[in-house]
Amino acid sequence: MIAFEGPVVVTGTDTGVGKTVTTAAIAAHLMARGTTVEVIKVAQTGDDDDAATVHRLSGAPARCLVRYPDPLAPFTAARRAEAPLLKLREVADAALECTADVVLLEGAGGLLVQIGEGGWTVRDLAVELGCPAVVVARAGLGTLNHTTLTLEALARRGVEAAVVIGAWPHHPGLAEFENIKDLPGDRLGWIPDGAGDLAPEVFRLTATEWLDLDRG
């Protein structure tokens, strides 16, 4: 069981797997049971505003540390923008300065995407903070391989992890039903596809039904 206390990293098996909505759902679930939560989007690239989405859906305070205009890996986007590279210690300090019971740190892209100075990754951040990780995975074909690789990469550095399916389809097929049986790792639940389009009050009410954060 991973502990939802202090910093917790939210990463993914790839980009576009539902990390932001999953982060919002975790925040809403924790807040519904009286836990205080702050959310940090480590780095934002392109036109999206993940911190704003998390705040709108969950109501948790959320902020982004750095933004880069190109929709690329943060390290690459910073280089193209000729912007200062984000330092690992800066991010760790930002998390440790938060006063909430739980600080959710949403990464960018997959686990080993380079974020900042020296090419550090979200895995390095989890190691620096000594905290667990939530891995957001796809439901369909390919997810068994991608999830296994991500969990193995975390385990090699001693990072505890649990898995959430980031967008469970409304009409799942054979692959999705079989994957739910065979998906590796400890599972916390799944987020229904399209959950990010729900009204915030509905999202916050139903988020507690999607996840079981007392198991891992």
How far apart (Å, rounded) are the C-alpha atoms in residues 150 and 63? Answer: 26
How far apart (Å, rounded) are the C-alpha atoms in residues 149 and 143? Answer: 10
Residue 41 annotated among the catalytic residues of the structure: yes
The active-site residue, picked from 19, 41, 87, 181, is: 41
Read off the DSSP letter of residue 84: P
Neighbour order of strands in the sheet with 161-168: 62-68, 37-45, 102-106, 6-12, 133-137, 161-168, 187-192
How far apart (Å, rounded) are the C-alpha atoms in residues 88 and 62? Answer: 19
Residues noted as catalytic: 41
